[in-house]
């Protein structure tokens, strides 16, 4: 069955520190992979996406993610976190044909000043 | 483009009342999705449309929920009668040309 796992429910980092949010997926074919960010009271904003090709993808707001097929992972990274990055982050797998997404349960990021 | 537009942004109603949530998709996007977000269950896909036709409504929780897309510019999600457990944030999203989904700001529904 298709699934997405975000093992960390909460993460706290200091401003300026590096960040890595984990995402593991289970999907039979080559997946479409996405990271979204949700600030309080807001909708979901697309940070970046992977379809094929280069396994390291760059997104908005200085984020990047690396697709590792052997590990079924698509971890999100940022070299230096800003206080405005505090939000909830969702990983999603898109299924070809139906275009449905399977979302992870989210990771809530707290940034310490 | 204004993005996906949802109305109202907030809705407070009493149990038993009918609730209608509205969505205006991004022009040219052929898929429209309705999601529900709660603390307990996270993001759930309720139903989605392709070219105004419902494709999969397996996520609709009960017969009290219904959704329509009468044209490419408008969709509604209706709950009749509403119950307190329907309290959630409801999102509409549309599919872009590269399979990404663009979300609206959501409607926060509170059923008393």
Predicted confidence (pLDDT) per residue in A72-101, tens digit: 999 999 999 999 999 999 999 987 776 788
- Contact between residue A68 and residue A55 where contact means Cβ atoms under 8 Å apart: yes
- pLDDT tens figures, A11-42: 999 999 999 999 999 987 778 899 999 998 88
Looking at residue A34, its pLDDT comes to 95
Give the gap in angstroms from C-alpha A96 to the nearest C-alpha of chain B.
9
- pLDDT tens figures, B28-46: 999 999 999 998 989 999 9
Nearest CA in chain B to A94: B99
Reply yes or no on whether the pLDDT at B59 is more than 90. yes
What span, in angstroms and rounded, lies between the C-alpha atoms of A16 and A5? 27
Looking at residue A22, its pLDDT comes to 98
Looking at residue A52, its pLDDT comes to 83
Write the residue in B55, B91, B99 that is nearest to A43 by C-beta.
B91
- Contact between residue A50 and residue A67 where contact means Cβ atoms under 8 Å apart: yes
Q: Distance of CA A82 to CAs A47, A79, A91, Å? A: 15, 10, 20
Residues of B with Cβ-Cβ distance to A98 under 8 angstroms: 55-56
Looking at residue A44, its pLDDT comes to 95
Tokens of A24: 């593991």
Residues of A with Cβ-Cβ distance to B4 under 8 angstroms: 43
Q: Helix, strand, or coil here: B90?
A: strand
- pLDDT tens figures, A36-55: 999 988 899 999 999 888 89
Nearest CA in chain A to B94: A99
Looking at residue B2, its pLDDT comes to 79
Q: What is the mean pLDDT of residues A55-74?
A: 94
Reply yes or no on whether the pLDDT at B12 is more than 90. yes
Looking at residue B1, its pLDDT comes to 65
């Amino acid at each position: 069955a298709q699934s997405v796992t975000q093992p960390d429910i909460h993460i706290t980092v200091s401003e300026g520190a590096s960040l890595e949010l984990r995402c593991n997926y289970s999907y039979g074919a080559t997946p479409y992979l996405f990271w979204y960010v949700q600030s309080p009271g807001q909708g979901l904003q697309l940070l970046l996406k992977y379809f094929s090709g280069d396994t390291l993808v760059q997104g908005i707001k200085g984020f990047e993610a690396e697709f590792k097929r052997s590990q079924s992972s698509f971890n999100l990274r940022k070299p230096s976190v800003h206080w405005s990055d505090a939000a909830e982050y969702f990983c999603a797998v898109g299924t070809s044909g139906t275009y449905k997404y399977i979302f992870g349960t989210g990771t809530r990021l707290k940034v310490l000043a | 483009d204004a993005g996906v537009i949802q109305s109202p942004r907030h809705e407070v109603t009493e149990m038993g009342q009918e609730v209608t949530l509205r969505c205006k998709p991004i022009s040219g996007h052929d898929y429209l999705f309705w999601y529900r977000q709660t603390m307990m269950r996270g993001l759930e896909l309720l139903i989605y449309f392709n070219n105004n036709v419902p494709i999969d409504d397996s996520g609709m929780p009960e017969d009290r929920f219904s959704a329509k897309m009468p044209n490419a510019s408008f969709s509604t999600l209706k709950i009749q009668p509403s119950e307190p457990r329907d309290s959630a944030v409801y999102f509409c999203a549309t599919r872009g040309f590269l399979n990404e989904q663009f979300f609206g700001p959501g409607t926060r529904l509170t059923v008393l």
